Amino acid sequence: MRILVSLLFVLLTVLVQAQEKRKQFGLGGQVYYSTVFWTKSGEPTDSLNSMDHGVTGINPQLWFMAELDRGQSIQVGLQYSTTGFRRRAANVQYKVQYHPDLPVITDNLQGDPRHIDFFYRSHYIGIPVFYNREIIAFRKSISLHYYFTPGISFGFLVYDKTVARTRGFGFDGKNRFVLNNIYEGNPFNLQLHLGGRLEYWLSSKYRTHFQPVINLPLTSVFRSGDKAYVPSFGINLILTMDPSKEEVKD
């Protein structure tokens, strides 16, 4: 909580200082791929520890950008984000129950059992904050700007769930099952970000932004027991407008 209060105080101070500067408002989305690193994991009781894999997704975003000084700006967002990973129970065996919420595998299955994938996803409302420092600018030719963009974000857990998908077979025609979580989700999420931003001016009013970002978690996705960190690589695709500018028509 102290970290959140400090972050909000710094953010408020910066925004007040930027009130008279040029501003942008925008919509965007982050296409991401996340993986998982375990620092503490209990004994596997349902074959979830067989194999770990990453997952992909898209996170919608709202953005506000304010110029601090020439070549410097602050970028604040509101993001509905998901993060997670996939665990696989391979070499499925008959007469085995791979999770309490799954039926026992029997000879009456439809298909040829190969494996079961368990998808764990956490859903957050996040507040990312980036500091943008201009590195390269082609103002006279194509209005292209490149920025170095470190940042930090704070997220609040909305909900989390585990979904099992059977591969090659099904139970009574079903191959997707929502399971009771075996993990206790962390209600807060804190991340560091390291990336860059390519900004192209479509006109005096509208701009597009291509922002690759490495997302490094400082908190585990679980509150107690198992400890796992879910880093990801994402690309923010953003369209912004400057409300102080009028669109110039030919």
| Percent of the chain surpassing pLDDT 70 | 77
pLDDT score, position 47: 46
Q: Where are the domains of the chain?
A: 2-241
Structure confidence at residue 46 as a pLDDT band (50, 70, 90): very low
User: Is pLDDT larger for residue 204 or for residue 90?
Assistant: 204
Q: Is the pLDDT of residue 166 over 50?
A: yes
Show the 3-state SS of 129-196: EEEEEEEEEECCCCCEEEEEEEEEEEEEEEEEEEEEEEEEEEECCECEEEECCCCCECCEEEEEEEEE
Model confidence, pTM:
0.77
Q: Across 40-44, 91-95, 113-117, 149-153, which has the greatest mean pLDDT?
A: 149-153
CATH topology for 2-241 is Porin (2.40.160)
Q: Which two tokens stand for residue 160?
A: 């989390």
124: helix, coil or strand?
strand
Q: Across 94-103, 136-145, 216-225, which has the greatest mean pLDDT?
A: 216-225
User: Is pLDDT larger for residue 3 or for residue 195?
Assistant: 195
pLDDT score, position 107: 55
pLDDT tens-digit readout, 75-86:
999 999 888 888
Whether the Cβ atoms of residue 39 and residue 227 lie closer than 8 Å to each other: yes
Structure confidence at residue 45 as a pLDDT band (50, 70, 90): very low
Task: Count CA atoms closer than 13 A to 230's CA, side-chain side.
Answer: 27
| Percent of the chain surpassing pLDDT 90 | 33
Q: Is the pLDDT of residue 16 over 90?
A: no
Q: Is the pLDDT of residue 99 over 90?
A: no
Average pLDDT, the chain: 80
pLDDT score, position 50: 52
